[in-house]
Amino acid sequence: MSSVKEPAVGRPSAQAPTLDLHEIQATVLRQRPAPYFGAHVLLHVDDARAGRQFLRRLAPHVDSAAGWRIAANAWLAVGISHSGLEALGVPRESLQSFPEAFREGMAARARQLGDEGVNDPKNWDPPFGSGQVHIGVTAFSDSEEKRRRAVAIAREQWENFSGVRLLAMQNFGAQPGDLNPLGYKDGIDQPAIEGSGVEPLPGQGPHIKAGEFILGYPGEAGVSLPMPQPDVLGRNGTYAGFRKYQSRVGAFNRFLHAHGSTEEERELLAAKLVGRWRSGAPLTLAPDVDDPALGADPRRNNDFGYSNDPGGRQAPLGCHIRRMNPRDTELTRLTDVNLHRLIRRGTTYGPPYDANALSEEGDKVPRGAYFLFISAKAMATIEFLQQEWINDGNFIGIGDERDPIVGLQEEGATFTIPKEPVRRRVHGIETFNVLRGGEYFFMPSLSALRWLGELT
Amino acid sequence: MATQTQLVADPKSDPVVEQKLRKLRELYADAPEVGRVALENGLSNLKRELAAATGTQNAGRIGARQGKVSELTGVIPFAKGGAKRLRGLLQALEGNFRGGDAVGTLHDMRFVFLDNDTKLLFATAYDGDWDAYIDDFVTKIPDAMDLLFCNIEGWPGIHSPSAKDFIAKHQIAAEAWYVANPNLTVAETRRLERVGKAVEELLDQIE
């Protein structure tokens, strides 16, 4: 149909894969292409029989991870919420075998997630948090044309019969340079999964046991997580936390201008917040000036640790990437950093970042990111990250400070930039990315999709 | 919290406080005389405390929390020979818990042997939700956990997926929980110790 294309990142490893790649959804291993184009589709199942028929028809179009390297076409990922499993008529014993946080749903877990204030589910965009979102389908592709074709294929499966209804559709991607809504190259650091057959990139660290990311395999503790039952439903499945953020680009730019009088000062501050320059070049390797060639090179842009920077003079202790993956940073609490990683599929929507947007109008432009956070214990991991690594600074010994990019900031919040002879403490940091919605999805294996489709 | 206390200008006029006082008088009607007298003598102080109440918080699945500090209390039957082993282990350690230091969230731990060495009262103050780091214990200090808890009847082993449920099952939520410095975590206390020392050194140089 179209030319075979190398994905943006990833090479096969010398070891043959040991996971059932033919069973696992492609999105778990396949990186976002560059450039990327896609759409998120949220569906409601009015009638169990129609819902199951939809899954039966859709299943052949969902790629497996066996071909993670080669994406000839757009590919679809499918997730089903707990209320979706109910609507499909999944037996009660099966429903009860899912983890509590998944059964309750993301909105009901607001306390554990710290989703309060502006991030409170009562402020979310419909249809999030209403219990109406049953099935999420995401199409990824490397061209606008393929995206349209993939969405058309998905649409054909629900349009010609009643019982499955479209709630919302959101296109994403197509930003120049694939920059995120605040103007950074993102999605660089991903966990390496043992047995996947994907070679880790330099700095990606040793492989993490597959059971952390895919159900049915031993995790880091040497045992498998409990799986949803029956076995065919749970094995080779995983979970995705889906979170929609709106970026307050005006507030972000005003903050940079308030604390940087020149372009250079503002760009350095922007880099200190994230731990990388906008190009993707890490401060640890390029502490003083940006190095765009470094940022663009996947074999170099993640190849570092923090052992030479224990105090954060290069990459501040509280910067975004050091929080999300502290690597070898000494933490104040007994922590196994391999247990709190997520496969991230970030997808930017709306107009691209605009460095000149300084007004409050700039905050209201619908632009931001939808994140898919994938893990075999996605609910527990997202709750841990929100509580410990995003909306707190204790774990890294910096008191109450929060993640400057995705944290929910309180009045009078600060961001500390370690420096000689004295640190610089920047005041007036605001919530730059506001949560606009979220759902927990189960991402079934391809066999489980068929099993669900054939329920009676 | 503290700011809300100041908002209540005159506790006497607070109907919630008056209601609580009526309830306490009813409860103490059959108390020994010293108790009844104490209630009336201490009325003005008590009113202030009642007006300042802000409600209790939960610590994750079970237990109470004040600010960032939570409590965990359990009364748990010993396994056969468990009391003897645990006493021997605790005596050998002589109160030195390096593992506790490394955990970084434990303010204290208390081991009390009850009912002729048949049950253990375990009580601890710690930061945050108790199960946030349980998986980290499993991969980082599994032996320390099993060494302690194998002395408990029915301990499934730290690697068992039911270990969390086992702990929760034996936990008894405290009826009340008081913390003097509810916002001082173990990590923050250590940080302030460092900062305080550095400030004193700086002042020494200026002197």
Distance (Å) from the alpha carbon of B60 to chain A's nearest alpha carbon: 8
Residues of chain B contacting A222 with CB distance shorter than 8 Å: 159
Contact flag B139-A339 (C-beta cutoff 8 Å): yes
In this predicted structure, the answer to whether residue A209 has a pLDDT above a threshold of 70 is yes
Residue B89 CA to residue B96 CA, distance in Å, equals: 11
Q: Which residue on chain B is closest to A333 by alpha carbon?
A: B104
Contact flag B104-A384 (C-beta cutoff 8 Å): no
Question: What is the separation, in whole angstroms, between the first and last Cα of chain A?
Answer: 36
Rg value, chain A, Cα: 21
B110 touching chain A per CB within 8 A? no
What residues contact residue B147 under an 8 Å CB cut-off, 6+ apart? B89
Residue B28 banded pLDDT, cuts 50, 70, 90: very high
B188 touching chain A per CB within 8 A? yes
Task: Give the pair of three-digit tokens for residue A370.
Answer: 């939808």
Q: Which of A20, A63, A178, A186 is catalytic?
A: A186
In this predicted structure, the answer to whether residue A201 has a pLDDT above a threshold of 70 is yes
Q: Which residue on chain B is closest to A101 by alpha carbon?
A: B61
Task: Give the pair of three-digit tokens for residue A351.
Answer: 């107009």
pLDDT at B129: 81
Residue A178 CA to residue A249 CA, distance in Å, equals: 17
Residues of chain A contacting B103 with CB distance shorter than 8 Å: 333-334
Q: Which residue on chain B is closest to A100 by alpha carbon?
A: B61
pLDDT at B88: 96
In this predicted structure, the answer to whether residue A1 has a pLDDT above a threshold of 70 is no
Reply yes or no: is the peptide bond before residue A35 cis, omega within 30 of 0.
yes
pLDDT at B2: 42
In this predicted structure, the answer to whether residue B4 has a pLDDT above a threshold of 50 is no
Clarify whether A186 is annotated catalytic.
Answer: yes
Residue B63 banded pLDDT, cuts 50, 70, 90: confident
Contact flag B187-A384 (C-beta cutoff 8 Å): no
Contact flag A387-B128 (C-beta cutoff 8 Å): yes
Instruction: Tell which of A333, A379, A382 to mutate to test the B interface (max B CBs under 10 Å).
Output: A333
Task: Give the pair of three-digit tokens for residue A377.
Answer: 């214990």
Reply yes or no: is the peptide bond before residue A226 cis, omega within 30 of 0.
no
In this predicted structure, the answer to whether residue A7 has a pLDDT above a threshold of 80 is no
Among the partner residues A333, A388, A399, nearest to B103 by beta-carbon distance: A333
Contact flag B129-A331 (C-beta cutoff 8 Å): no
Lowest mean pLDDT among A110-114, A148-152, A171-175, B98-102: B98-102
Contact flag A335-B133 (C-beta cutoff 8 Å): yes
